[in-house]
């Protein structure tokens, strides 16, 4: 997806990298990669983005840290009529309330100690384009009331100004917090919540779309190989470990890990021995629930073993998204033994768990 870069505007020669905002940059590390995936949940989000992009509707994006909330905001901007105008991202948690107000709305000369000149705020810099309010759940209540007024009137009041300033911006907000819970604890305004959530978009954690893990790993692997002039590959066995890991840092954690593996690889292959200890430990401690007797009076051990094997095989196939080679590795069986057990247990009828497709294509999934 092509993106037009907004021209950079710095503050009186200051270091823009120290400010809690980011002018749109199509070459940023996140790029368009955070929405790589073919899982139905991601497909639905992409469809919503396509439908909403051409409107000026306010959007509230929710999801855990690292799921790609800013990327969705950038795509909404880039695909819409404001795409050639400024995209300004503001981290609402980066500054205390009094400084954040000046950052958002600007201030007049002499408005406070140190205000030696008037400055435009982020809303004015985003005029004609989009302003992205990241971590909106961290915004102080006093500032929430002023943001609500902006949403209602499309006017801002710079600090120390005698008259409001009209602004023409699309507002997109994001948070990793549960704003409904914050409303109950009076940490977030209910009226502002409903003003922001005209279009809600929730990004699922990576563990909820495991079938996208190999796609993301290979995507970031290609990027890292190109960047560091390497030809590192990740073995199938290593991919099984990555598949099993829950990725609490989501896509951002995948990107960082793959870059680390490429940099530290001593050869051209990454094996499970190269994975960080916390991933090995997390995957190794995951176990199936202990087996229970289905019928306390049925002591036929042959049937019990067969039932237990079937249960483990179904669980492995489910985790492997139907990929038999990966399921065999999860069970620590060679592929021939695994297929033999499948034929025996299912009497030559191999089920496809949950109707899911194989991860690595039809050949390896057979």
Q: Which two tokens stand for residue 279?
A: 């991933």
**Domain 16-204 grouped into CATH 3.40.50.800:** no
Query: What is the architecture, at CATH level 2, of domain 301-365?
Result: Orthogonal Bundle (1.10)
pLDDT tens for 309-341 read 777 888 788 777 778 888 888 888 888 888 888
Strands of 130-134's sheet in order across: 21-23, 87-91, 130-134, 170-175, 59-63, 199-203
pLDDT tens for 68-79 read 999 999 999 999
First to last CA, the chain: 34
Would you say the CATH fold of 301-365 matches that of 210-284? no
Range of lowest pLDDT (3-7, 261-265, 271-275, 325-329): 3-7
| Phi (first) and psi of residue 205, to 5 degrees | -70, 160
27 — pLDDT class (breaks 50, 70, 90) = very low
Using CA atoms, how far apart are residues 218 and 298, in angstroms rounded to an integer?
Answer: 48
Burial of 143 (0-12, 13-18, 19+ CB in 10 A): middle
Range of lowest pLDDT (22-36, 40-54, 55-69, 326-340): 22-36
6 — pLDDT class (breaks 50, 70, 90) = very low
What are the residue ranges spanned by the domains of the chain? 16-204, 210-284, 301-365
356 — pLDDT class (breaks 50, 70, 90) = very low
**Fold observed for domain 210-284:** Helicase, Ruva Protein; domain 3 (1.10.8)
Q: Which two tokens stand for residue 15?
A: 């270091």
Q: Any residues with CB less than 8 A from the CB of 260 and at least 6 apart, and which? A: 276
Q: Which two tokens stand for residue 9?
A: 């505007």
pTM: 0.71
Place of tokens 């499309």: 154
Burial readout 152-169 (b: 16 or more C-beta within 10 A, e: otherwise): eeeebbbbeeeeebebeb
Q: Any residues with CB less than 8 A from the CB of 215 and at least 6 apart, and which? A: 36, 37, 38
């Amino acid at each position: 997806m092509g993106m037009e870069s907004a021209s950079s505007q710095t503050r009186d020669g200051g270091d823009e990298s120290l400010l809690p905002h980011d002018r749109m940059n199509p070459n940023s590390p996140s790029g368009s990669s955070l929405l790589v995936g073919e899982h139905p949940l991601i497909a639905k989000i992409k469809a919503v983005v396509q439908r909403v992009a051409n409107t000026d509707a306010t959007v509230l994006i929710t999801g855990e840290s690292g799921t790609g909330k800013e990327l969705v905001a950038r795509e909404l901007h880039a695909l819409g009529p404001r795409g050639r105008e400024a995209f300004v991202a503001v981290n609402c948690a980066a500054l205390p309330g009094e400084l954040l107000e000046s950052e958002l709305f600007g201030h007049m000369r002499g408005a406070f100690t140190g205000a030696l000149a008037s400055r435009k705020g982020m809303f004015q810099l985003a005029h004609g384009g989009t302003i992205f309010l990241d971590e909106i759940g961290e915004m102080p209540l006093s500032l929430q009331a002023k943001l609500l007024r902006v949403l209602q009137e499309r006017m801002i009041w710079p600090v120390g100004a005698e008259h409001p300033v009209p602004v023409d911006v699309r507002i997109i907000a994001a948070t990793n917090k549960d704003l409904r819970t914050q409303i109950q604890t009076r940490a977030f305004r209910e009226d502002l919540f409903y003003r922001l959530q005209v279009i809600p978009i929730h990004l699922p954690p990576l563990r909820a779309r495991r079938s996208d893990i190999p796609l993301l790993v290979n995507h970031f692997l290609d990027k890292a190989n190109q960047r560091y002039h390497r030809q590192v590959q990740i073995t199938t066995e290593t991919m099984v470990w990555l598949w099993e890991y829950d990725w609490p840092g989501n896509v951002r954690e995948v990107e960082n890990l793959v870059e680390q593996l490429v940099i530290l690889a001593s050869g051209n292959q990454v094996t499970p021995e190269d994975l960080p200890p916390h991933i090995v430990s997390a995957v190794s401690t995951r176990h199936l629930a202990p087996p229970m007797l289905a019928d306390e009076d049925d002591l036929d051990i042959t049937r019990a073993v067969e039932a237990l094997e079937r249960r483990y095989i179904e669980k492995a196939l489910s985790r492997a998204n139907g990929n038999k080679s990966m399921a065999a590795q999860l069970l620590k069986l060679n592929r021939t033994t695994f297929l033999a057990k499948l034929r025996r247990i299912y009497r030559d009828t191999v089920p496809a768990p949950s109707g899911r497709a194989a991860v690595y294509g039809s050949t390896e999934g057979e």
